[in-house]
Structure 1
Amino acid sequence: CFEEEDEGGDLDDEVDASQLERFMKDRRRAKSLPAYPAALLDGVSTSNESKRVKFADSMGLNLASVKHFSSLEEPQIPSKVLSRHKSFPPPQQDLINDLCQNFKSSLDTDRLLACFPEPQETERRVQHLRVCLEKVTVTQFDVRGQIRVLTGCTDKEVGVRYTFNDWLSYVDAQALPAAAEQPGYAGERFNFTVYTPPFMDPSLAVHFAIYLKSEEGEFWDNNEGKNYTLRYHCMPSTMPFVSAAFHAT
């Protein structure tokens, strides 16, 4: 019995060796990995389950084709792809730069300018009106002025009444005493500041008048009944901003 089993075992070994030899011949001739029946893989040991990397050339297979590009060659872009690329909107940075430039231009071109001549003959006017506008300057954010007052009263209020909506409403801003008076000037000096809205409609104007309230009564300088007016004027964007409010308008 034992002899028969040994002979049968030898025969099986010869069959397995023959199949393995044909398998290796087919493997060397293959141009790509063949799909072998699963039955040929049953005898492969699976004791080592760790994965290993094998390269195609070490297994007798052909490598993939490799294309070398020259730096002098221009890429061939399909016309459809090129037309779609040209139809894309400009980069986001260009849009931001355009918005910043437009915003800066709008701030530079609309400027408040005085619609009245520079005050003159302050001495005569203060003697006649008791209070008068002596000087005014305009910046990009406010209007500043100097008032001359002729009074000896200690209890008094000096200021400016102004409006941004043609006197539908108004605000009184009290003026503050200025530095010590220079000799030879009549009366006292007061300074005031009116802050203009940052996004004021260019079609609107700033109107104001100067007042003095004391125990002797109320006194006004309203530009001979016409009020003092500042309006927006379109100026060249290249023209530097000048703080003086008096221009030929």
Structure 2
Amino acid sequence: FKPESEDEQLPKNRQSDKDLNLKDRRRAQSLPAYPAELLDGVSGSEVRKRVKFADSMGLNLASVKHFSSLEEPKIPSKVLSRHKSFPPQHDLLNDLCQSFKTSLDTDRLVCCFPEPRDSERRVQQLRVCLERVTITQFDVRGQIRVFTGCTDNEVGVRYTFNDWLSHVDSQALPVAADGPGFVGERFDFTVYTPPFMDPSSAVHLAVYLKNEEGVFWDNNEGQNYTLRYICMPSSAPFVSAAFHAT
């Protein structure tokens, strides 16, 4: 015969000691969530978080603090001296604006071809010709003259900023003729140039006419109409490079 458990073989006093040790171990496994003195007299159902609003307790929802000049914060002298060492922001902005204005006044496109002349003769010979050019600080505007008996005409300018590695066609818009004896029609175009270009860069352009009779070009006798970007002395006043004022 063997006992069912070792506890049956132990004396009663030793068995009670073992039970106490087990209870102590169970209690030592974790600390209580709240100190015992805070939970005295409080049941488990009452241990809950409660929210109370200030106005329900007769308190103000906001408080206003008024400061006087005597209560202004005192800034250390080291911080003030460092702050004064930086230039004012409006001075920096003025310097940037002046620098940008100076670059506009000194850097510009200029025409590298003579002023077009004999428009009536050229337009009858070529069917299309560049009649005038005006250069501003941001674009190039021109006037094209065409001579054709067709009513469906496409007139425009082809230009490039990279020596014809790529190009853009810009269609011109018709404008009113000068008078009853005027030969042909007139069209205006605008080419927008980049705000900043390399001193060695240039704009090449040619004007065209497309209709049912074919495609006709005026490219300055194969040389193209070239406008080169150059830097001028800052002391020189800005004078428009236009042949004619608009």
Instruction: Report how far residue 156 of structure 1 moved.
Output: 1.4
Q: AA paired with 1:222?
A: N
Instruction: Report how far residue 111 of structure 1 moved.
Output: 0.9
1:181 and 1:189 in contact (8 A); partners too: no
Q: AA paired with 2:231?
A: C
C-alpha separation between the residues in 2 aligned to 1:191 and 1:149?
A: 11
Task: Tell me which residue corresponds to 1:121.
Answer: 118
TM-score between both structures, scaled by the size of structure 2: 0.60
Is 1:192 paired with 2:225?
no
Instruction: Report how far residue 241 of structure 1 moved.
Output: 3.0
Q: 1:211-247: per-residue Cα shift (whole Å, max 9, x none)?
A: 0111111100000000001111222334443334349
- 1:128-207 paired onto structure 2 within 5 Å: 128-207=125-204
- 1:1-249 paired onto structure 2 within 5 Å: 95-246=92-243
Instruction: Report how far residue 129 of structure 1 moved.
Output: 0.5
Question: How high is the sequence identity, in percent, across the aligned residues?
Answer: 78
Can you give the 5+ residue segments of structure 2 that lack an aligned partner in the other structure? 1-77
2:128 and 2:147 in contact (8 A); partners too: yes
Instruction: Report how far residue 105 of structure 1 moved.
Output: 1.5
Instruction: Report how far residue 135 of structure 1 moved.
Output: 0.5
Q: AA paired with 2:221?
A: E
How many residue pairs get matched? Answer: 164
2:132 and 2:243 in contact (8 A); partners too: no
Q: AA paired with 2:108?
A: R
Q: AA paired with 1:132?
A: C
2:106 and 2:238 in contact (8 A); partners too: no
TM-score between both structures, scaled by the size of structure 1: 0.59
Task: Tell me which residue corresponds to 1:68.
Answer: none
Q: AA paired with 1:219?
A: F
The structure whose Rg is larger is 1
What's the C-alpha RMSD, in Å, of the aligned pairs?
2.5
Can you give the 5+ residue segments of structure 1 that lack an aligned partner in the other structure? 1-80
C-alpha separation between the residues in 2 aligned to 1:154 and 1:243?
A: 36
